[in-house]
Structure 1
Amino acid sequence: MTKSGDAPLEPVAALWVRRAVVLLFVNLVVSAAFAVLTVAFATNVVDYQLAAGSAKTAEELRISLWIRAAMVLVIAAFYWFIARRMLRGRRGAYVRVRTLSLAGLVAVSYLLATAAYPLWLRGVQVIQWLVLLALVIVTNLRPVRAAFPRPPKAPREKGSGKAAWSLVLLTPLIAEFSLGTVPVRMLYLVLLYIPIYGAGTLLIRELARRVGGGWPTIAVLGLCYGLLEEGLALQSLTSPHLYGAAEWGPRWLGINTTYTELNLPYHVVFSVIVPIALVELIFRRNGRQPYLRRGGMVLAGFVTFLGAVLLRLAVPLSEDPGYQMSLAAILTVLALIVVAGIVALRILPRHRFAVPAAARVPAPAVAGLIAGTASLAFLALLFPIGDARQPAFAHGNWVLIPMVVAAVIAIGVARQLARWSASPEWTERHRLIVVGAALVGHSIFGLITRAKTLPDQLVMAAVIAVTALVIVKLARRDTVQPAAVPDGLPAD
C-alpha cells in the first residue's frame, strides 16, 4: 500500500490505529464533560479560583470557561476530520494526533499540578490525563509509527534559510522600528515583537505560497494577522483606554473606528505585504517557492501563538489593566479570523480575477513618488500627531473627513497599482521602487511625528537614508525586463 495515500493500513497497524482513534474520541468525550461541568457550575468554579488567589476578575474567569466550552465544539469537528484521515493512512493526521495528545497531556498535568479547579473537577481531569497518557503510548508504538513512515525531505532551493530568517528579522524592524514607535532607549522591545511579527509573517508567506496564492491571499491573511494582534492579543480595537485609541475618532458598537481603520490596513501593508515583497525581491532566486519544510511551518505557527501570548502579557496587563473584551467580541474576532483564513487559503487561490484595463505605466520614480506620498498621507490623516489625542482635522463636525479621505487614498492607490501591474511594461524595478518609497514615506511620518528626542530623530533620519540606499542598490542590480509574474491583483 501507499502509506501516504488512502489505501487501507496493514492489519496489525490498523488494529492499533483504531485503538488510537477510540482513545481520541474518549478524550473528546471527557473534555466535553469537563467543559459542560465548568459552565454548569461556573459560579462554584469562579469562587474557588478567586479564593485560590487568581489575578483575573470574576468576569474574566467566566469568559475563559465559556471559551473553553466553545473550543470543545470546534475540536469535535476537527477530531472527526483528523480521525478519518488517520484511518486512511495519512501521515499528516497521525502527526497531528501525536502532537495534540502530548500537548494535551502536558496541559492537563499543569492544571493538576497547580490545582486550577476544585477537587471534584480534578477527578475528571485525572481520567482525561490517563486517557491522554494511553493515547501518547499507543501513537508511539512501533507498529503505529511504522504505518506512517517519514517521507523523504523535500529539496529546498539554496538560500531558503537565509530568506526565511531575513523575513523574520526584517518584519518587526519595518513594522515598528522604522515607524519610530520604538524609541532608541527602548530598542530592546524589538525582541518582544520578533515572535509574533517575524514568525507570523513568515507563516503567512509560507501558507500563501504553498496553496498557490498571490497578493490577494497574502493581504487577507494579513488581515487575519491584524485581527490576531490588535483584536485578541492587545484587544486595542475595543479597549476604551489602551493607547487612548477611543479618543482618536468615533467609537461605534464598542469599536475604536479610527484606530481600526489605521491599524488593520497598516498591518496588511507594512507588517505583511511590504516585508514579504522586499525579501522576495532580495532573494529573487527563490521566487515563490516555500522557504520552510512542514516542520518549520509548524514551528512558525507555534512561535506565532507564543508571540501573541507574550504580547498579551507584556502590554495590556501593564498599560490597560482590568480591561477584558466581552465573550461576544472575542468570538466575533475569532469567527472573522476563521472566515478570512478560509477565503484566503481555499477560495482566492482558485479564483481568477478579472483583469482591469491596463493603464500606461509611469516611470518607476513616478510610481514610487505616488506610493510614498500615499503612505505618508494615509498615516497623517489617521495617526495622532505629536501630543494630540486625535488625528489631524478629526474634531467636531469634521471627525469623519480624514477617515473618508484616507479610505479613498488607500482604495485608489491599490486600484491604480493593480492596473499598472496588469501591463507588460510593469517591471521588477517598478515593484521595488514602489515598496521602497512606501517604506520611506512611512518613515518620514515617523521622523516628523514620533521622534521626540535628538537621538530618536538622528536614528530615524539614518533609517530613511539606509532604506533609500538599499532600494537604490537593489534597483541597480535589477534589469528593466518585465516581471516574470506580475504582482498586481489581476495576475494573482
Structure 2
Amino acid sequence: MVAALASGILAVVGPPPNGPFGVPLIVPVLLAAAFAARVLPGRIGAGIGLLAVVIAVAAAIRFLGADLVGDRSVVEVAVGLVQFAGLGAAAYAAVRQLIARRSDAEGRSHDASRPAQIIGLLGMCAIGAELLAAYDDSTGDPGAVAFALIFFGALYGAPALLARDLVRRCGWGWPSLLLLFAALGTAQACLIDQSMFSVDYQGYEGWQETRQATLIPALGIGATNAYNFIVGHVIYSFAAPVALAEAWVPRRARQPWLGPIGTVVAVLAYGGAAALILSDPESRSGTPPQLAVSAGMVAAFIAAAALIGRRRASGSHRTTEFAGRLPVGPVFAIALLAAVIPALSSEGWGGVLVSLAVTGGFGIAILVTARTRGWSLRHSAVVAFAFLLVRGLLAFTYFPLIGDVAPVPKYAHNTILILVVVATGWLAVRRGAGDGRKEAAHGS
C-alpha cells in the first residue's frame, strides 16, 4: 500500500506528461496485489504480492537511476525512496508468508559453508552465462571482470537461487526447475535485453549474418539465436551452476538455502540488474506483439513447472536398488559429445535441427535413466562439468566479437576461468559421491 501511494504521488509531483494526466499502471497493480495478499489464502496471495513487487522494483530502480543524473527534484527522489522502502517491506512480508509453514525437515543449515555455497553459485552463474564464453571486450580486464561477476551474479545467479529455492520448498524435481529456468531464459532474451529481436545487438561481429541464416520473418527472430539464447541460458546460466553448487554440499541439495531476508535481497538484486539492462536503448528491440507472445511463453513455462511439480510432489518418491551403479565415466563422455556437437554445428537450419535433436535426445536419455537406473548428485555434477568445460575450451578458439583484446590478457582470461571450472567441477564430482540418498526421483 505504501509503495502504491508513493507511485501515485510521483505521478502528481513528477514532470508533466506530454498527454493527459494518467495514473501509472503500477498503482493498480500494487493495489490489486495488496488486496490479493489480504483476501486470498496463505501462499497464493503472498505469491501474487511477490510477483507484483518484482514488476514494481524494475520501475522503481529505473526511476532512481534517472535521479542519479539529476533529472528529478528532491521531493521526487524522497518519494521514490519511500516507494522503494515500501516495496522492500512488501517483499519481506510476502516471503515470510511463503515460507511460514515449512517443516523442520526443511530447516536451513546455519554452518559457515552455506553463505560460501550461495556466493559460489552466484559467481558460477556469472561465469557460465557470460565470462566463460569470453566474447566481449571485458575479456582479460580485471576491473571489468570483477564488475561482471557482481552484476551478472545478480542478473543470473539471483533468479537461479530464487527458482531453486521455490522448487526445493515445494518438493518439485529437476523437470520443474528446468522449466523455470526456461522461463527465466526466455524473459532474459525476449523481455529484458530483447536481444532475440535485435537486428544488430551492440554491434557484435557476425550478429546480422547469424540472425539472417535462419530468420523466421513472421516472428522476426532467427532460429539459431532462439536455440542459443534460450537453451544456452537454461544450461550455462542456470542449470549447470546449480547442479555443481548442490553437489558441493550434498546434505543441503534438497533444502532451500535462502531465508526471508536473503530472498528479498535476491528479488531486489534481480530486479535492479534487469532494470539497468532495460534502461539501455539497445534493449528495446521487441515490438508489442513480440513482447506479448514472449510474456505468454514465460507464463506457460511457469504454469508447466507448477503442474509437473505438483504431480510429482503428490506422488511417492521412488528409490531404486540400481542407484549409484550407473558409472559416471560414460555419462561424462556422452555429456561432452552432447555439448560439443551443438557448439560446432553450422548456423544454418541443418545446425539448428542437429542441435535440437542432440540436446533433446540427451535430455530424454537423462530422464529415462534417472527413472530406471537411478541418478545421483554426482551424475548431475558430471553433466554440468562437461558442458561448462566444453564452453570454456572452445573460448580459446576465437577472439572477442567486439573490441580489441590483446592475446596475452585474452588467453590469461580463458586459462583462469577454465581452472575455476575444473576446480569447482572436481569439487562437485568428488563431494557428490557422498550423496547417500541417491534417489531416482532426484532426476525425475
TM-score, length-scaled by structure 1: 0.65
Aligned pair 1:348/2:313, yes or no?
Answer: no
Q: Select the residue among 418, 421, 426 that pairs with 1:467.
A: 421
Q: Which amino acid aligns with 2:310?
A: R
Aligned to 1:446: 395
Q: Note the 1:129-208 alignment, pairs <5 A.
A: 155-157=107-109, 158=111, 159-181=113-135, 183-185=139-141, 186-188=144-146, 189-208=148-167
Q: Give the 5 Å matches for 1:284-295.
A: 284-295=250-261
1:65-117 deviation digits (Å, cap 9, x = unpaired): 99x54x6675565344223149x9999599979x89x989989998999898x
Partner of 1:247: 209
Given candidates 353, 359, 372, the residue that maps to 1:404 is 353
| Residues 306-328 of structure 1, C-alpha deviations (whole Å, 9 max, x = no match) | 01122334xx44xx48x542222
SS, match of residue 181 in structure 1: coil
1:210 is matched with which residue: 152, 160, 169? 169
* C-alpha separation in 2, matches of 1:73 and 1:202: 29
- Counterpart CA distance in 2 for 1:112 and 1:456 is 35
> What are the residue-to-residue correspondences of 1:31-110 with 2, within 5 Å?
44=19, 69=25, 75=30, 77-85=32-40
Q: What are the residue-to-residue correspondences of 1:266-305 with 2, within 5 Å?
A: 266-305=232-271
Q: Which runs of 5+ in 2 are unaligned?
A: 91-96, 401-405
Runs of 5+ unmatched residues, structure 1: 1-19, 47-64, 117-124, 141-147, 382-391
* Residue aligning to 1:386: none
Q: In the superposition, relative to structure 1, how do residues 246 and 83 fare at CA in structure 2: closer, same or farther (>3 Å)?
A: farther
User: 1:479 deviation in Å?
Assistant: 3.9
Give identity over the alignment, percent: 18
Deviation, structure 1 residue 275? 0.8
Which of 363, 384, 387 is 1:414 aligned to? 363
2:186 counterpart letter in structure 1:
L
Q: Which has the higher contact order (CA 8 A, sep 6+)?
A: 2
The answer to whether the 8 Å contact 2:331/2:382 transfers is yes
The DSSP-based 3-state class of the residue aligned with 2:372 is: coil
1:288 is paired with a residue whose SS is coil
User: SS in structure 1 opposite 2:19?
Assistant: helix
Q: Is 2:121–2:245's contact at 8 Å kept on the other side of the alignment? A: yes
Residues 112, 287 of structure 1: alpha-carbon distance in 2 compared, 3 angstrom cutoff: closer
Q: 1:233 to 1:45 in 2, by over 3 A?
A: farther
Determine if contact 2:122/2:157 at 8 Å carries over to the other structure: yes
Q: Partners in 2 of 1:92 and 1:78 — Cα distance?
A: 9
> Size of the alignment, in residue pairs?
394
CA 1:362/1:286 → structure 2, altered by over 3 Å: closer, same or farther? closer
Write the letter of the residue equivalent to 1:217. Answer: S
1:222 is aligned to 2:177? no
Q: Distance in 1 between matches of 2:158 and 2:174?
A: 18
Cα distance in 2, alignment partners of residues 487 and 77 from structure 1 = 38
Structure (1 or 2) with the larger CA radius of gyration: 1
Q: Which amino acid letter does the alignment assign opposite residue 114 of structure 2?
A: S
Q: Relative to structure 1, is the Cα distance of residues 450 and 412 closer, same or farther in structure 2, using a 3 angstrom cutoff? A: farther
